C-alpha cells in the first residue's frame, strides 16, 4: 500500500494512454483516484476488518490479544460479520441488476416497452426447456412471459431452491445440499446476512461464513446467471466480433458519448439511437462528423461484445476519459461510478448524466430511464450531447487504441469447437487431457488505485499464457489484457506456450477469451459445468485443473464473486488488500483467513486466499493445476511435448527457399 508517497504516472499505471492523461491531470492541477489514493492513508484497523460498528456501543477496535467488542464479540466474529456484509452487498448489486433484467423481459414479452425485441429466440427456447416451460407451438412472447415469471420469482422465493442452480453439475449440487447451503431465494439469503450480523445474532465465525457461501451461490448461479441469460435473450448472445479498446477510441471530430456502468438496457438503446439518420444529421448540423459511442467499465463490455462498440477503458479510466476534454456526455447507470466524475467534469464541458432510478449524484444531470420510452429517452440524451459539442475546449486524446476480439459466450465456444451439428466441448477437454493445454484460469474483476493500474492483470496473464494455461477473462481484467494485445489471435500467440498456441491456431481463437461483463462470470460457471458434463476432467468442478484470480479487486461485488467461485469448487486467489487480514497481535484474527482457505477447502473443495506477490500467485496457480492433473491421472505437463502444429510448421516452411523447403518436407 503506497499511501503517503506521491507516485509518478508510470507508477500509477502501465497503460501509456492513462499515463498521458495522468500527466495532464497534474498539469491542470486536477485530482484523480490515483492521487487521492496517495493522499489517503488507509486505516490499519479497518484494513484488517478488525473494527466493528454494527451497534452504537462502539465502534470497537480490536488491536490486542484477548480484547473483544463491548458486547463480547471476538475478532473472528467481527471479521466474519464484516466479510459476509461485503458478500451481501455484492450479491445484492448483481442480483438487483438480474431482477431488473427479468422485469424488462416480462415487459418486452407483454409489448410494454419501446425499441426492444426478443433477439435470441433460440436461447429463449433452450432456457425455457431446461425449466420444463412448454415451447412447442408457442410464440416467443408466450415463452418469454413464462420464463420472466419464473426468473422474477427466484428473487423473492422463500422455500425450495433457486431454480437455476440446476445448471450446476449434480455432484456440486449434492455438496451444497449436504452442507445445507442451497440458496432458497436470492433476496432471502441477502436479507438473512443482514439479520445474522445484527447485534446479538450469529456469533460463530464458521456458521456465519457458511451463510456467506449460500448467499454467494444465490448470486453466481442465481441473480448473475439470470442477468446474463436475459441480456442474451434481449440483446443477442455474444459471438466474436472485432472491436477496439483504450482512450484513443474517442474521436476528435465527432460527438463523443461515453456509456458507463453496468446495465445493457440503456446503453444498447443509446447505440440504436446513435444509428438513426435523424440523429446523425443533427450531429452533422452541429458541425461534427458523426456520433461516436464508447464505453467504460462493464457497460462497455456489454456493448463491446455484442455490437463491437469500442471500450474507452476500464474502472480507473473513467475520470481520465473526461480529462481528454472530448467527451460531450458521460451517461451512467449503476455500479462502479465515481462520485468524483462530477467534480472533474466541472473543469471541462462534459455533462455527467445519471439515468437509474436508484442512482443520483449531486451536481449531475438526472434523466430517468424508463424502458417504456427507451428509444425516445436515448434520442433526447443524444441530442443533449450534440448540443454540447460547440462548448468543447482544448482536447487531448491519447493516440492509443488496441484491437480486441471479444464475445466468447459459453454457447459460442461450444459451436466453435464442433460446428452447428457437432457442437461440443470435447476438443477443449481433450486438449487439457493431452496436456496441450496445461489447465484453465479465469482472471476477473476490478482495478484498484492502491496498486499499479492493469499491472497485475497483465503480468499474471502473460505468465500463465507462457505456461500453456488457457485464460477466460471478464470485466476490467479483460479490458486490461485487450490493451496489451492479448485478446486477438495473431498478436497474442507469440506470447503463449507451444501447446496452447497449437490449440488457438487450430480452432482460431485468441489465448484469452473475453467472456463479457462482471455478471457474465456466470458464463464461466456454465462453461465449467459443461466441461464436467463432457467427461474426462472429473465428476465435479473441484476436480478440473482450473484457478480463479481477481488480482486488482476493490469492490464488494468482487468478494461475492470470489465466494461463489470457491463455493463452485474453484481455488481462488485475490490480491491487493485482503478484506480480513491476520494481525499478529490479535491471535483470533488468524481464524477467519484459515476458515476461508483450509476451512472452505474441507467443505466445498476449494480455498480462498489473498496473495500479493506475482511470483507466488503464478507458482501457486500452476501448482494447483498440476496437482489436479495428477489427481485425475492425466500426463504431467511437459512444455517440450507440443508445438509443431500444421499451421506453425507451414509458416516456417513458407519462409524457406525452394531448396530448403524440399529438404524440410522430404528430408
Ligand atoms: Ni466487476 Fe469491479 Fe466494476 Fe465491472 Fe470493473 S470494477 S467487481 S469488472 S466495472 S463490476
624 falls within a domain: yes
**Same domain? 361 vs 410:** no
Specify the 3-state DSSP secondary structure of 516.
Answer: coil
Q: Which three three-digit cell numbers place residue 213?
A: 457461501
Residue where one domain finishes, among candidates 235, 253, 278: 235
What is the distance in A from the centroid of ligand 1 to the CA of 310? 17
CB within 8 A of 659, min separation 6: which ones? none
**Same domain? 503 vs 475:** yes
Task: Please choose from 555, 575, 576, 579 the residue to mutate so as to test ligand 1's pocket, defined by most ligand atoms within 8 A of CB.
Answer: 555
Closest CA to 167 of 525, 606, 605: 525
Give the gyration radius of the chain's Cα atoms: 25
**Same domain? 257 vs 220:** no
Task: Please choose from 87, 96, 223, 315 the residue to mutate so as to test ligand 1's pocket, defined by most ligand atoms within 8 A of CB.
Answer: 315
Give residue 665's pLDDT band: very low, low, confident or very high (50, 70, 90).
Answer: very low
**Same domain? 441 vs 504:** yes
Closest CA to 190 of 166, 222, 215: 215
**Same domain? 433 vs 551:** yes
Specify the 3-state DSSP secondary structure of 395.
Answer: coil
Residue nearest to atom 8 of ligand 1 (CA): 475
479 falls within a domain: yes
Residues 573 and 621 sit within 8 Å (Cβ to Cβ): yes
Q: Give the atom of ligand 1 at the shortest distance from the alpha carbon of 553.
A: 2
Give residue 662's pLDDT band: very low, low, confident or very high (50, 70, 90).
Answer: low
What is the distance in A from the centroid of ligand 1 to the CA of 553? 8
Per-residue DSSP letter, 501:
H
Residue 658 has pLDDT above 70, yes or no: no
What is the distance in A from the centroid of ligand 1 to the CA of 525? 17
Going from the C-alpha of 371 to that of each of 121, 224, 298, 333, the distances in angstroms are 20, 20, 20, 13
Residues 491 and 461 sit within 8 Å (Cβ to Cβ): no
Q: Which domain holds residue 260?
A: 243-391
Q: How far apart are alpha carbons 437 and 417 in whole angstroms?
A: 15
Q: Give the atom of ligand 1 at the shortest distance from the alpha carbon of 297.
A: 9
Q: How many domains does the chain have?
A: 3
58-87: per-residue pLDDT in tens? Answer: 899 999 999 999 999 999 999 999 999 999
Q: Please report, for the domain that includes residue 164, its CATH number.
A: 1.20.1270.30
Residues 131 and 143 sit within 8 Å (Cβ to Cβ): no
Residue nearest to atom 3 of ligand 1 (CA): 336
Residues 247 and 215 sit within 8 Å (Cβ to Cβ): no
pLDDT, mean of residues 465-490: 94
Residue 49 has pLDDT above 60, yes or no: yes
Q: How far apart are alpha carbons 291 and 514 in whole angstroms?
A: 26
261-293: per-residue pLDDT in tens? Answer: 999 999 999 999 999 999 999 999 999 999 999
Specify the 3-state DSSP secondary structure of 550.
Answer: strand
545 falls within a domain: yes
Q: How far apart are alpha carbons 625 and 620 in whole angstroms?
A: 9
Residue 571 has pLDDT above 80, yes or no: yes
What is the distance in A from the centroid of ligand 1 to the CA of 476? 6
Q: How far apart are alpha carbons 667 and 65 in whole angstroms?
A: 75
Q: Give the atom of ligand 1 at the shortest distance from the alpha carbon of 335.
A: 3
What is the distance in A from the centroid of ligand 1 to the CA of 297? 6
Neighbours of 652 (CB within 10 A): 12
What is the distance in A from the centroid of ligand 1 to the CA of 262? 9
Q: Which three three-digit cell numbers place residue 643?
A: 508445438
Q: Please report, for the domain that includes residue 293, its CATH number.
A: 3.40.50.2030
Closest CA to 249 of 212, 303, 169: 303
Least confident of 454-458, 546-550, 640-644: 640-644
640 falls within a domain: no
Q: How far apart are alpha carbons 510 and 501 in whole angstroms?
A: 9
667 falls within a domain: no
What is the distance in A from the centroid of ligand 1 to the CA of 312? 15
Residue 1 has pLDDT above 50, yes or no: no
4 falls within a domain: no
Task: Please choose from 476, 480, 481 the residue to mutate so as to test ligand 1's pocket, defined by most ligand atoms within 8 A of CB.
Answer: 476
Residue count of the chain, please give it: 667
Residue nearest to atom 2 of ligand 1 (CA): 446
DSSP bridge pairs for 98 = none
302-347: per-residue pLDDT in tens? Answer: 999 999 999 999 999 999 999 999 999 999 999 999 999 999 999 9
Q: How far apart are alpha carbons 75 and 48 in whole angstroms?
A: 10
Q: Which three three-digit cell numbers place residue 481?
A: 489484457
What is the distance in A from the centroid of ligand 1 to the CA of 276? 31
**Same domain? 306 vs 160:** no
541 falls within a domain: yes
Residues 323 and 28 sit within 8 Å (Cβ to Cβ): yes
Q: Give the atom of ligand 1 at the shortest distance from the alpha carbon of 296.
A: 9
Q: How far apart are alpha carbons 281 and 285 in whole angstroms?
A: 6
Least confident of 128-132, 156-160, 225-229, 420-424: 420-424
The 3-state DSSP composition of the chain as helix, strand, coil percent (nearest 5) reads 55, 10, 35
Q: Give the atom of ligand 1 at the shortest distance from the alpha carbon of 558.
A: 7
Q: Locate cell 508445438: which residue?
A: 643
Residues 19 and 13 sit within 8 Å (Cβ to Cβ): yes
Give pLDDT, residue 4: 66
Residue nearest to atom 9 of ligand 1 (CA): 297
What is the distance in A from the centroid of ligand 1 to the CA of 520? 11
Q: How far apart are alpha carbons 126 and 411 in whole angstroms?
A: 11
Residue 664 has pLDDT above 60, yes or no: no
What is the distance in A from the centroid of ligand 1 to the CA of 555? 7
pLDDT, mean of residues 360-385: 96
Residue where one domain finishes, among candidates 202, 235, 268: 235
Binding-site residues, ligand 1, Cβ < 6 A: 297-298, 314-315, 335-336, 445-446, 475-476, 518, 555, 557-558
52 falls within a domain: no
Residue nearest to atom 6 of ligand 1 (CA): 446
What is the distance in A from the centroid of ligand 1 to the CA of 477? 9
Q: How far apart are alpha carbons 511 and 490 in whole angstroms?
A: 10
Residues 223 and 91 sit within 8 Å (Cβ to Cβ): yes
pLDDT, mean of residues 439-449: 97
Closest CA to 341 of 367, 309, 317, 369: 317
What is the distance in A from the centroid of ligand 1 to the CA of 337? 10
Closest CA to 517 of 305, 339, 331, 301: 301
Residues 180 and 206 sit within 8 Å (Cβ to Cβ): no
Q: Which three three-digit cell numbers place residue 43?
A: 486505516
Going from the C-alpha of 442 to that of each of 96, 463, 548, 604, 660, the distances in angstroms are 24, 13, 5, 19, 43
Q: How far apart are alpha carbons 316 and 18 in whole angstroms?
A: 9
Q: Give the atom of ligand 1 at the shortest distance from the alpha carbon of 90.
A: 7
157-166: per-residue pLDDT in tens? Answer: 999 999 999 9
What is the distance in A from the centroid of ligand 1 to the CA of 79? 24
**Same domain? 533 vs 553:** yes
Q: Give the atom of ligand 1 at the shortest distance from the alpha carbon of 550.
A: 7
pLDDT, mean of residues 526-544: 95
**Same domain? 457 vs 517:** yes
**Same domain? 219 vs 310:** no
Q: Give the atom of ligand 1 at the shortest distance from the alpha carbon of 477.
A: 8
| Angle value at C-alpha 426, between 238 and 467, nearest 5 degrees | 80
What is the distance in A from the centroid of ligand 1 to the CA of 550? 10
Q: Locate cell 441488476: which residue?
A: 97
pLDDT, mean of residues 457-478: 96
**Same domain? 491 vs 625:** yes
Give pLDDT, residue 417: 74
183-192: per-residue pLDDT in tens? Answer: 999 999 999 9
Residue nearest to atom 7 of ligand 1 (CA): 558
**Same domain? 107 vs 86:** yes
Residue 195 has pLDDT above 80, yes or no: yes
Residue where one domain finishes, among candidates 391, 419, 434: 391
**Same domain? 499 vs 563:** yes
Give pLDDT, residue 507: 83
Residue nearest to atom 10 of ligand 1 (CA): 518
What is the distance in A from the centroid of ligand 1 to the CA of 315? 7
Q: Locate cell 479497518: which residue?
A: 46
Q: Which three three-digit cell numbers place residue 424?
A: 461440443
Task: Please choose from 245, 449, 557, 574 the residue to mutate so as to test ligand 1's pocket, defined by most ligand atoms within 8 A of CB.
Answer: 557
What is the distance in A from the centroid of ligand 1 to the CA of 655? 44
Q: How far apart are alpha carbons 290 and 227 in whole angstroms?
A: 32
Helices (H), 389-538: 410-418, 426-434, 455-466, 475-483, 489-493, 498-507, 521-534
Amino acid at each position: 500500500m503506497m499511501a503517503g508517497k506521491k507516485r509518478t504516472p508510470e507508477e500509477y499505471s502501465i497503460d501509456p494512454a492513462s499515463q498521458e492523461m495522468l500527466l495532464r491531470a497534474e498539469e491542470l492541477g486536477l485530482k484523480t483516484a490515483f492521487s487521492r489514493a496517495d493522499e489517503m492513508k488507509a486505516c490499519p484497523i479497518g484494513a484488517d476488518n478488525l473494527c466493528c460498528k454494527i451497534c452504537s456501543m462502539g465502534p470497537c477496535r480490536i488491536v490486542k490479544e484477548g480484547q473483544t467488542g463491548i458486547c463480547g464479540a471476538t475478532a473472528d466474529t467481527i471479521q466474519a460479520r464484516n466479510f459476509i456484509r461485503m458478500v451481501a452487498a455484492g450479491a445484492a448489486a448483481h442480483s438487483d441488476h438480474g431482477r431488473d433484467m427479468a422485469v424488462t423481459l416480462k415487459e418486452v414479452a407483454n409489448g410494454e416497452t419501446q425499441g426492444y425485441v426478443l433477439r435470441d429466440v433460440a436461447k429463449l427456447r433452450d432456457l425455457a426447456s431446461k425449466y420444463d416451460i412448454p415451447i412447442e407451438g408457442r410464440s416467443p412472447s408466450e415463452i418469454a412471459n413464462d420464463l420472466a415469471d419464473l426468473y422474477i420469482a427466484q428473487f423473492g422465493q422463500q422455500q425450495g431452491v433457486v431454480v437455476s442452480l440446476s445448471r450446476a453439475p449434480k455432484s456440486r449440487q449434492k455438496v451444497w445440499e449436504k452442507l445445507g447451503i442451497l440458496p432458497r431465494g436470492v433476496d432471502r439469503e441477502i436479507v438473512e446476512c443482514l439479520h445474522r450480523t445484527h447485534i446479538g445474532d450469529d456469533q460463530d465465525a464458521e456458521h456465519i461464513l457458511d451463510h456467506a457461501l449460500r448467499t454467494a451461490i444465490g448470486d453466481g448461479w442465481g441473480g448473475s446467471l439470470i442477468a446474463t441469460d436475459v441480456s442474451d435473450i434481449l440483446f443477442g448472445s455474444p459471438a466474436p466480433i472485432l472491436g477496439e479498446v483504450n482512450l484513443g477510441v474517442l474521436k476528435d471530430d465527432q460527438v463523443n458519448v461515453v456509456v458507463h456502468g453496468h446495465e445493457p438496457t440503456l446503453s444498447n438503446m443509446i447505440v440504436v439511437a446513435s444509428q438513426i439518420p435523424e440523429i446523425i444529421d443533427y450531429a452533422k448540423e452541429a458541425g461534427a462528423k458523426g456520433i461516436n459511442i464508447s464505453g467504460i467499465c462493464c457497460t462497455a463490455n456489454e456493448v463491446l461484445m455484442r455490437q463491437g462498440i469500442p471500450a474507452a477503458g476500464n474502472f480507473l479510466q473513467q475520470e481520465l476519459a473526461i480529462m481528454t476534454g472530448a467527451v460531450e456526455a458521460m451517461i451512467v447507470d449503476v455500479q462502479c461510478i465515481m462520485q468524483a466524475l462530477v467534480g472533474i467534469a466541472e473543469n471541462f464541458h462534459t455533462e455527467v448524466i445519471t439515468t437509474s432510478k436508484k442512482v443520483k449524484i449531486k451536481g449531475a444531470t438526472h434523466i430517468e430511464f424508463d424502458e417504456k420510452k427507451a428509444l425516445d429517452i436515448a434520442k433526447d440524451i443524444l441530442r443533449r450531447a450534440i448540443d454540447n459539442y460547440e462548448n468543447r475546449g482544448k482536447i487531448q486524446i491519447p493516440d492509443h487504441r488496441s484491437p480486441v476480439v471479444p464475445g466468447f459466450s459459453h454457447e459460442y465456444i461450444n459451436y466453435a469447437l464442433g460446428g452447428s451439428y457437432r457442437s461440443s466441448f470435447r476438443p477443449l477437454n481433450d486438449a487439457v487431457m493431452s496436456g496441450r493445454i496445461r489447465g484453465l484460469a479465469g482472471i476477473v474483476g476490478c482495478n484498484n488505485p492502491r496498486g499499479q493500474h492493469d499491472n497485475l492483470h497483465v503480468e499474471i496473464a502473460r505468465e500463465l499464457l507462457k505456461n500453456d494455461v488457457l485464460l477466460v477473462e471478464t470485466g476490467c481484467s479483460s479490458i486490461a489484457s485487450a490493451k496489451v494485445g492479448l485478446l486477438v489471435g495473431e498478436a497474442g500467440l507469440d506470447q503463449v506456450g507451444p501447446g496452447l498456441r497449437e490449440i488457438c491456431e487450430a480452432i482460431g481463437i485468441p489465448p484469452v477469451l473475453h467472456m463479457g461483463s462482471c455478471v457474465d462470470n456466470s458464463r464461466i460457471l456454465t462453461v465449467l459445468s459443461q466441461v464436467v458434463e463432457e467427461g474426462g476432467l472429473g465428476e465435479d468442478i473441484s476436480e478440473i485443473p482450473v484457478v480463479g484470480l481477481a488480482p486488482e479487486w476493490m469492490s464488494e461485488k468482487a468478494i461475492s464473486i470470489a465466494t461463489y467461485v470457491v463455493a463452485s469448487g474453484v481455488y481462488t486467489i485475490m490480491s491487493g488488500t485482503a478484506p480480513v487480514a491476520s494481525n499478529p497481535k490479535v491471535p483470533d484474527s488468524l481464524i477467519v483467513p484459515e476458515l476461508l482457505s483450509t476451512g472452505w477447502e474441507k467443505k466445498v473443495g476449494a480455498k480462498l486466499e489473498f496473495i500479493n506477490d506475482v511470483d507466488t500467485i503464478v507458482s501457486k496457480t500452476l501448482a494447483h493445476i498440476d496437482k489436479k492433473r495428477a489427481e485425475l491421472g492425466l500426463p504431467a505437463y511437459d512444455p517440450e511435448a507440443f508445438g509443431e502444429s500444421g499451421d506453425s510448421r507451414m509458416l516456417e516452411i513458407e519462409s524457406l527457399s525452394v531448396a530448403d523447403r524440399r529438404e524440410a518436407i522430404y528430408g
